[in-house]
Structure 1
């Protein structure tokens, strides 16, 4: 009987350990409340305010980038929307120019009043057409005397000429046209060959004109 009573009675050291564990649990439960109590409301508001300010700034930056992209797209659309029409009108201009070039100086001098009026009418039509094309951003390329540029010129043949630097445009077979910074049609040209080499190339070391070279920028 005595043995059973002794077994059921808790030891003092076990009771002390259990009490210590209970106090530790209570302390751990109280820590979050104490941490919340230590958080300064003013600092919390400042942090929240800073976060909202950052979001607003990011949103404003994104909206500004969107506005700029939209403006550029609208501008390009307006500028290049007439590219196909303008390219077709160049054929009309070519025919007008061929008609004028077919009239020799002697024929002009000997022309009667009616013929002179017809010639002047064709010349005025050509000038007005070029004026209207330029109004819509189309510019004529007449690169005689300039350095050959494969981005804007198409070399049709080479002309032996030691008096000018090699790769100089010495003859324009057909004028070229650009719209904005895009090529509608490259100028067809003849380039000099056999002259002195250029000392300062301006296109990153372009080797020179090759007959039949084509542009790599199109509208």
Structure 2
């Protein structure tokens, strides 16, 4: 009688043939996973593209706004000389000339004053504002110090004199104001003849 090793030996493992072909369910799951990965990749690329487009839109809007706001920068800077000359003409007038009743002189002064005010209003309509910092704290971003001098009426570090007005266009400085800065109250001079404190013997 012939013996069967597989049945005679209970510890023997049955021969198992490895399956080389995937089942339909495995194929479907693999395809589904691949499609999901492609979908996620396309979604990520789409979100990045949308973010880039939004950044480009905002940057373009800023550039357009800046172009509108600062398009007149060169022209405005050239006009500051005319504004300065009108101001100098008015400041050079003696007080008696301002109170004169002479029609020709009075009309000339009023005309120069009106022209200066009209010029400044025109500049303001285009975003150019005058900087007149008298009494304000010195700011190196807006002002250029020409000198520092003692001033009993103005605290140290404040603008005590405006030599030339400055101008801003939008948030940019078109021309800094030329100013004098207060060094505070002058120091009391020491009494002549040395120390006057009485001494005891």
Q: TM-score range by the shorter chain?
A: 0.7 to 0.9
Find the aligned partners of 2:121 and 2:18 in 1 and give their Cα distance.
Answer: 90
Higher relative contact order (CA 8 A, sep 6+): 1
User: What residue is the counterpart of 1:125 in the other structure?
Assistant: 115
Does residue 58 (structure 1) correspond to residue 73 (structure 2)? The answer is: no
* Aligned-partner SS, 1:155: strand
Kindly report which structure 2 residues correspond to 1:1-219, keeping only aligned pairs within 5 A, or say none: 27=18, 30=20, 33-34=22-23, 37=27, 39=29, 41-195=31-185
Shift of 1:46: 3.8
Find the aligned partners of 1:90 and 1:71 in 2 and give their Cα distance.
Answer: 29
Task: Tell me: CA distance 1:115–1:155, structure 2 relative to 1, closer, same or farther (3 Å).
Answer: same
Deviation per CA, 1:111-149: give whole Å up to 9, x if none: 412222221111111111111111111110000011111
Q: What is the root-mean-square deviation in Å for CA atoms of aligned residues?
A: 2.6
**Structure 2, gaps ≥5 residues long:** 1-16, 187-201
Shift of 1:194: 3.4
TM-score, normalised with respect to structure 1: 0.69
Find the aligned partners of 2:84 and 2:73 in 1 and give their Cα distance.
Answer: 17
Contact 2:129–2:167 under 8 Å retained in 1: yes
More helix by share: 1
* Aligned-partner SS, 1:194: coil
